[in-house]
Amino acid sequence: MQLKSIALLLSGIAVGVIVSNLPHAFASTTASISDLSQRRFRVSINEVKQNLVFFEEFTGRYAKVVTLSDGTTREIELTPMVDEGKQVVAFKDTDGLGYMSLNGTTTNGKLMVHVIDEDTTEEQLRAEGWTFGR
C-alpha cells in the first residue's frame, strides 16, 4: 500500500512538472523521435471496479491480457511511435486502435489506461534537483 501511495505521489508530481514544462516538452528533436523504442514508460490499467496493472515499467512495446471483473478478457498493446510527425503511444485494445500522448490517460469502455514517459519525467525531475537510486 505504501508503494502505491509513493507511486501516486510521484505520478502527481510528474504530471505537474510536465504541465509546467509543456513548451519544453513540445520542443523535441529528431534524435529523440527516433529513439522512442528505447524510452522507458510506466503503465497503469484499471477497471472501474479493480486495479489490473499498477505502474508497471516497459520499454519498446507492452502487451498484456487482463481479465475484467465480469470475466471478459481484453488484449492490450501499447507501442510508442511517431505518427504524422507526432510522438504518440498506439493503444491497441480488443475493441480497436487509438492513440494517446506519451504522458496520458485514456478510457475505453470500462478500461482506463495511464502511461507516463519515465525517461522524460525523470530527466525533468533531475533538472529540478531530485535524486534517484540509479
pLDDT band at 133 (very low <50, low <70, confident <90, very high): confident
The pLDDT tens digits of the residues spanning 97-128 come to 999 999 999 888 888 999 999 999 999 999 99
Contact criterion met (CB below 8 Å) for 16 and 121: no
Distance in angstroms (rounded) separating the CA atoms of residues 28 and 123: 14
Q: How many other CB atoms are found less than 10 A from the CB of residue 19? A: 10
Mean pLDDT throughout 37-64?
90
pLDDT score for 100: 94
- Residue 64's nearest CA partner among 50, 80, 43 is 43
19 pLDDT band (50/70/90 cuts)?
very low
Residue spans of the domains in the chain: they are: 2-127
What pLDDT sits at residue 33? 54
Please tell me whether residue 102 adopts helix, strand or coil conformation: coil
Q: Please count the other Cβ atoms lying within 10 Å of the Cβ belonging to residue 11.
A: 17
Predicted confidence (pLDDT) at residue 64 exceeds the cutoff of 90: yes
When pLDDT is averaged across residues 53-81 and rounded to a whole number, the result is 94
pTM beyond 0.75: no
